[in-house]
A and B are shown apart, each in its own frame.
Chain A
Amino acid sequence: MHTNAAGSDVFDNLRLELRRGCLVVAVLAQPYAEHYGYALRKALEEQGLAIDENTLYPLLRRLESQGLLVSQWREEEKRNKRFYRLSPLGEEVLPNLLAEWRQMSVALERILGDRAVSSAPKSRTQSKENEQPCP
């Protein structure tokens, strides 16, 4: 139905917005250890946060251009791979970002109260990727 389709579009857009900030936190929090792109994606996926390659790589570049990550090409398993780790600026920013995230999370939980428990999500149009909630 038209209304359902519109509702689904609205939900997808809101979900994208919601995920955008969460992914930045997750990607920054992960490279405490050094990772290359593919390994980072797998690590996030194993922890319940699937991320599309077309989202991850541009995001890594953006964070690097902002000075939060540093990268280095290195050979591993006979192939050149680009390894990312947190920069000194990233190490400085990340705790603040996490504190902000926790504060928002606590506030949101408080606002939602019992509603979060009682109102289970109804069936939604599932897109092909990234269905996990924020970390």
Chain B
Amino acid sequence: MSVTKTDLVDRYLYAVKFWLPTAQQEDILAELREDLLSHMEEREAALGHALDDDDIAGILRKRGSPAEVASGYLPERRLINPAVLPVYWLVLKIVLLWVLAPLFALVFLGPVLASAHPWETVLLCCNEYWRAAFMTVGMVTIGFVLLDRYQVQFQHAGRWDPRKLPRVPGSEDTGARWKHLTALVFSVVAAILWAHLLWQGAEFPFRGGMRLRLGPLWEPFYWPILGLAVADAFFDLLSFLRPGWARVRSRVRIGGNICWLAIAGVLLSAGGGGVAVGNLPAAELARTTAWFNFMIVNTVLGLAVVVIIDLINEARYLVRGARTTAAPIPSAMQH
């Protein structure tokens, strides 16, 4: 065996070794070496002379790059289980488009409107969004990798019931979809206005230096109200896009409505919690405060009525759905 032949083969195998799993390196390389040498001997016999550098290089090149050869021996690796890939994409889509993007829009709307250089603020917002998006993608991916690593069973993987699948949206859902779209617009506008109000320090400035301010009573509810409004917007959007997911929507809306009613109860029992401040006579401030609280109470009452109606509707829908689900399957359909 020529020195060149073993030298090139050794170099080739050494390069392959780099990519191989440590425990199997020697075993795999010994088998590869044997195969290469058998191949070269056969070639020499066919040609009738010893192989030169070019012949050997040609054989090794034909065999494939060291990384390519080693890749066949590596265990099949995947970052995320293909079975849960659709769920992964869905989660990413929801988090990036329907949670992170509206949240950034809300947070940056005030600064953009108030800034002397709005485009700079928009660029800053985009920059921050991409940073947050990269982090989010990483976190979601790590989450799914861990789920796969520890073999967490998804509901869809095993225990699922065809009767609990969302129903196919029918023509009667068209009206409901427009209802969800209207509710979505309302929720988004409410969330934007509320965020804007928070940005202004929970005050409504008026001419003459007078300001109507939401008093200390409101402070614990600043962020919960914003969170509820964003959540409402999200589920309205979900209901619009996926009208068949009605049961999920109903449960979430019932929970959200109960939260809204709890907040309304506190505000109503305290008589509104608003206050007028400014360089005005005390009597006028007191009169304005009373008027402001009257407006708050009426607005909250009106909203509470709407919320109660919605709560009853959703509860009725759920009860009706439960009865339908609990009904026995006709024997003819069981076959």
Q: Is B38's CB within 8 Å of the partner chain A?
A: yes
Give complex CA distance A57, B32 in Å.
Answer: 8
Are A81 and B73 in contact, with the CB atoms below 8 A? no
- From the candidates B30, B39, B63, B64, name the one contacting A80 in the complex (CB within 8 A): B30
Give complex CA distance A80, B28 in Å.
Answer: 13
Interface 0/1 of B25-38, CB less than 8 Å to A: 00010111011011
Give complex CA distance A61, B70 in Å.
Answer: 13
Q: Is A36's CB within 8 Å of the partner chain B?
A: yes
Are B72 and A54 in contact, with the CB atoms below 8 A? yes
Give complex CA distance A73, B27 in Å.
Answer: 10
- From the candidates A54, A55, A57, name the one contacting B31 in the complex (CB within 8 A): A57
Q: Is B69's CB within 8 Å of the partner chain A?
A: yes
Q: Is B68's CB within 8 Å of the partner chain A?
A: yes
Q: Is A121's CB within 8 Å of the partner chain B?
A: no
- The smallest beta-carbon distance between A68 and chain B, in angstroms, is 17
- The smallest beta-carbon distance between A52 and chain B, in angstroms, is 9
Interface 0/1 of A79-112, CB less than 8 Å to B: 1111000000000000000000000000000000
- The smallest beta-carbon distance between B1 and chain A, in angstroms, is 11
- The smallest beta-carbon distance between B124 and chain A, in angstroms, is 42
The count of residues in chain A whose C-beta lies closer than 8 Å to any C-beta of chain B is 14
Given A54-B63, A54-B64, A54-B68, decide whether A36 and B73 contact each other with a Cβ distance below 8 A: no
Give complex CA distance A58, B72 in Å.
Answer: 6
Question: Which chain B positions have C-beta within 8 A of A11?
Answer: none
Give complex CA distance A61, B32 in Å.
Answer: 12
- From the candidates A36, A37, A57, name the one contacting B72 in the complex (CB within 8 A): A57
Q: Is A38's CB within 8 Å of the partner chain B?
A: yes
Are B32 and A38 in contact, with the CB atoms below 8 A? no
The count of residues in chain B whose C-beta lies closer than 8 Å to any C-beta of chain A is 16
Question: Which chain A positions have C-beta within 8 A of B63?
Answer: 53-54
Are B73 and A38 in contact, with the CB atoms below 8 A? no
Question: Which chain B positions have C-beta within 8 A of A82?
Answer: 30-31, 34
Question: Which chain B positions have C-beta within 8 A of A53?
Answer: 35, 39, 63
Interface 0/1 of A40-75, CB less than 8 Å to B: 000000000000011101100100000000000100
Question: Which chain B positions have C-beta within 8 A of A81?
Answer: 34
Are A37 and B68 in contact, with the CB atoms below 8 A? no
Are A37 and B35 in contact, with the CB atoms below 8 A? yes
Given A53-B63, A54-B63, A54-B64, decide whether A38 and B72 contact each other with a Cβ distance below 8 A: no
Give complex CA distance A82, B38 in Å.
Answer: 13
Question: Which chain A positions have C-beta within 8 A of B28?
Answer: 57, 61
Given A53-B63, A54-B63, A79-B37, decide whether A37 and B31 contact each other with a Cβ distance below 8 A: yes
Give complex CA distance A53, B37 in Å.
Answer: 13
Question: Which chain A positions have C-beta within 8 A of B39?
Answer: 38, 53
- The smallest beta-carbon distance between B32 and chain A, in angstroms, is 7
Given A53-B63, A54-B63, decide whether A61 and B35 contact each other with a Cβ distance below 8 A: no
Interface 0/1 of B7-42, CB less than 8 Å to A: 000000000000000001000101110110111000
A57 closest partner in B (C-beta): B31
Give complex CA distance A38, B37 in Å.
Answer: 10
- From the candidates B24, B30, B38, name the one contacting A38 in the complex (CB within 8 A): B38
- The smallest beta-carbon distance between A126 and chain B, in angstroms, is 16
- Can you spell out 18 A-B residue pairs with CB atoms less than 8 angstroms apart? A37-B34, A37-B35, A38-B38, A38-B39, A53-B63, A54-B63, A54-B69, A54-B72, A55-B72, A57-B28, A57-B35, A57-B73, A58-B72, A58-B73, A61-B28, A80-B34, A81-B34, A82-B30
The 10 lowest CB-CB distance pairs between A and B, nearest first, are A58-B72, A38-B38, A54-B72, A38-B35, A82-B31, A58-B73, A37-B35, A81-B34, A54-B64, A54-B69
Beyond known contacts A55-B72, A82-B34: 15 more, CB 8 A cutoff:
A37-B31, A38-B35, A38-B39, A53-B63, A54-B63, A54-B64, A54-B68, A54-B69, A54-B72, A57-B31, A57-B35, A58-B72, A58-B73, A79-B37, A80-B34
